[in-house]
Amino acid sequence: MSKPRVLVAHSDIPKKAIQLLQGRCDTIFCPGVRNPSREQLLSKIEGVDALFWFSKVKIDKELLDKAGPNLKVVATMSAGYDHIDVKEVKSRGIKIGITPKVLDAAVADVAMALALAVARRMPEGRQKIESKQWETSEPQWMLGQDFQESTVGIVGLGGIGQAIARRVKGFDIARLLYTGHSPKPEGEALNAEFVSLDELLKQSDFVFLACSLNSETVNLINKEALGKMKSNAILVNVSRGVLLPHLGSATLKTRTNMALLTVKNIFAALDGEPLPSSI
């Protein structure tokens, strides 16, 4: 009996995951290309049973038609899925696997690193050191902002937003605000206040964007929104690029876990079982 065929849309997937996948499936790559183009993927996609996706190439009607009726699952190595035509995929009975949660901690860590780097003016400080302009004898030189006793606002209290909230509370902040469609039990547990987006922007010293990309959040932070913020407020985006791309999940452990979960989603679909993480 032939093995299921899986098109892997990038050649630089963590080895542990590829080895697991190859133990059961025939893997198809675009030879000599790390990040294949749409045309290159179209040339390899016909007749596959599954897609292992780590690519900005959109999965749409054209790709699905070219893949053909054997395709059972689209497994993307990402938490977001705006690069997938979900309606078109689901209309064909094809399952969709994603990799949320496993990246929450890594993304939240990057969010804090970005906020602290800006608040304490670390990029500027490095430039001063490199240009030999370090002036530590000046008492008001390179002064930054404190997290302590500040107001922090989080736009989107999902898994990543909650992970950010847990981290900022360790800095003895004064208030923790969040916004979204409606209050969440998790917000109450974090002693966070649910407010409107306008109120959050007006009140916050630090604003973290951690919401998903959809029709409501595209260009969420525009000129008007920025105008509502404090003049010295710090804005940190760890959401999708069009809200305001990021490397939030770029740790060895997190990317490996994301790749392994992608493989598990593929195996579950091939076995006709519920996916560990799907939409």
Active centre residues (catalytic): 246
Residue 159 near residue 100, CB atoms below 8 Å: yes
Contact residues for 190 (Cβ-Cβ < 8 A; gap 6+) = 162, 165, 166, 169, 176
Burial class (CB within 10 angstroms; exposed 0-12, middle 13-18, buried 19+) of 238: buried
Show the tokens assigned to 241: 């690029």
Length of the chain, please? 279
Q: Which of 266, 271, 274 is nearest to 28 (CA)?
A: 266
Distance CA 116, CA 234 (A): 10
